[in-house]
A and B are shown apart, each in its own frame.
Chain A
């Protein structure tokens, strides 16, 4: 057991640190001083440029093989990178679904042509990706999905609908799961496609969320043609490929979530210092101190549980179901954090963006509302608990 960095890891950290110090947009870190959240639509253009810069400096996709645009480093460097991002409150990577999910899955299952074609443009943010999994009638029970892809000549024709599709309105490509064999058992007739979002017949309708923003979308497919070469991992093999994506999702999310929790916690502590309780800063109130300390502890615990998972990974074990535990834990902690941010504001918690009385311009109200999605997106907490119960603990299926 050793938490010290090796000389190589130290020099990587220094490289990241000095680059971020030089290149971090000042106004962004000021904004991030208060709270953290998924990027809002008005900053997408800024984030595209930022990711490009990060990529050119060699800090996106560090674990990807060099021949596909990465740096061929380990998850340890990835972890170091994310820690530096958290410390400096650097902007997040916009093309996160490509970097965290689509890219690793293509690298794992793709043909050589696919591997050369897609990953580099993901890294540079030239092409943004979204994930076409959930449907109106298929959420947690994903394998029941109904979007069809029928073979006509050397193409597939897609019809159906996806929903809760983050970034679809910005996306160039989609990881699409569609049913190619309606007669097969539900897990066995699904194929994973790489779908060009600019194809005729694709309609994206933004969905307004409880925050008032439209961060995700409904996507309709009306006779959308996809070439056969855009199948990833073989016909009717989509379930296995799709699950790999989810495994990487939870892993990638693990890094990102840790950063977001750290940034949000720093913002919360800052808010608590500025808030008053009983005539003194809220940080001096014993009850508030207990709650802040618990969040501090949980954030650190989350980091070390993640570090244990990475150690296993570096020993050659695949990312496993323990990532579900991390996701679940983050959700609980982050929602509790956002609730505490409301509590610190007291009656002011009722005021939102647009009021001069609103605390920090109402950003906390937005992140508080947004946090309700955390226990639903990326697999609900209930599904994560099933995964842990069944795949880690070996309890029987219901």
Chain B
């Protein structure tokens, strides 16, 4: 038993820390917030050159064939830098969906391009009902000859406006069990009938879209896997992406703590540093506990995903429930302990505060995951 990272992972962490310090300082983050694409071609190319776009893809498709634990290391650093852009959607949503559900031909077509940075992918699964479970997937895919016709609306789709291909979860059959009858489709973004609308978001580092499909006609080979069997791989993608998101959140929370502690050491009030007052010190201690615990449960969940242990989904929900609350508390406390300066646009804290809030409601909030924990432990 060993609950630490190996030398390669520590090296990945320090490489990534340096990389994002240089390539994505907060001035860049702010520029990308204002830019509708949320990414520059140069930075995207550099991410590809590092091999990070293919970190978890198999070697045969141009990837590095590493695991979720390795990805967690990288994502912590990305969260620390609040890196905007379609990394998350390409690697953890569209890319993972291809890995989980794609046919050999689909993988062969898309994965090398995703790894090289040539193409971007995302996943459209949630609908305006904002329902997390299988019952939330109602977008209709009607069989039409050997192909399918898709109609309906997807919401909260990450980076669909810059994606080349979207994995769309649709219903090919309805029955008693909502988990049956869901199918995944690969839909290139130029397909007629597909409309993507970029939505204004509170967290401007995260680009979310509405994706509308109006009688979108797809060939039979657009389906991923067997018809009606899409929920299982989709749930696995969402579980893995959730762990990745938790890792980003851990990195962001750590950065807020670091900024706050640094500030509390130098900011003077009543003739001494504010960090010497217990009112500040104790809150900082609470932040540390939140950050450390968030990491512990996230690392465990990542390991559980890589190992495929039966308690994997439970670990994921424990992590998302804990980290959702923790990042919100930590980023809020960061603003409070900075005082007025922390509330300004100029200070970086709001980037983290908004990222925390957005992440809280991505892939299920703490309340939803606590209920899932209750179910999984048979309460």
**Residue ranges of A at the interface with B (Cβ–Cβ < 8 Å):** 1-6, 9, 76, 79, 269, 272, 283, 286, 289-290, 292-294, 296-298, 300-302, 304-305, 307-308, 310-312, 315, 322, 325, 328-329, 382, 384-386, 388-390, 392-398
A305 vs B319: C-alpha distance when bound (angstroms): 13
- B296 with A301: CB separation less than 8 A: yes
The 6 A-B residue pairs with the shortest CB-CB distance, nearest first, are A389-B281, A395-B275, A304-B296, A388-B285, A293-B370, A385-B285
Q: Is chain A's binding surface mostly helix, strand, loop or mixed?
A: helix
Residue of A nearest to B287 (CB): A393
A44 vs B48: C-alpha distance when bound (angstroms): 65
Checking A9, A286, A307 against B3 with a beta-carbon cut-off of 8 angstroms, the contacting residue is: A307
A314 vs B6: C-alpha distance when bound (angstroms): 14
- B1 with A76: CB separation less than 8 A: yes
Using an 8 Å CB-CB cutoff, how does the interface string of B345-378 with A read, 1 for contact, 0 for none?
Answer: 0000000000000000000000100110110010
**Residue ranges of B at the interface with A (Cβ–Cβ < 8 Å):** 1-6, 69, 257, 261, 264-265, 272-273, 275-278, 280-282, 284-286, 288-289, 292-293, 295-297, 299-300, 302-303, 307, 318, 321-322, 367, 370-371, 373-374, 377, 379
- B300 with A385: CB separation less than 8 A: no
Contacts of A298 in B (CB 8 A): 322
- A305 with B292: CB separation less than 8 A: yes
- B69 with A297: CB separation less than 8 A: no
Contacts of B377 in A (CB 8 A): 293, 296
- B373 with A296: CB separation less than 8 A: yes
- B379 with A269: CB separation less than 8 A: yes
- A389 with B275: CB separation less than 8 A: yes
A76 vs B3: C-alpha distance when bound (angstroms): 11
A79 vs B275: C-alpha distance when bound (angstroms): 36
For the complex with contacts A304-B300, A398-B277, 16 further pairs of A-B residues with Cβ separation under 8 Å are: A1-B4, A1-B69, A292-B374, A292-B379, A297-B321, A308-B3, A310-B3, A325-B285, A328-B285, A382-B282, A386-B281, A388-B289, A392-B285, A393-B285, A394-B261, A396-B276
Contacts of A388 in B (CB 8 A): 284-285, 288-289
- A4 with B1: CB separation less than 8 A: yes
Q: Measured between C-beta atoms, what is the minimum distance from B60 to chain A in Å?
A: 25
- A1 with B379: CB separation less than 8 A: no
- A1 with B3: CB separation less than 8 A: yes
A301 vs B315: C-alpha distance when bound (angstroms): 10
Residue of B nearest to A308 (CB): B3
Known pairs A307-B3, A310-B3, A397-B276; A293 contacts B285 (CB<8 A): no
Residue of A nearest to B4 (CB): A311
Q: Measured between C-beta atoms, what is the minimum distance from A286 to chain B in Å?
A: 7
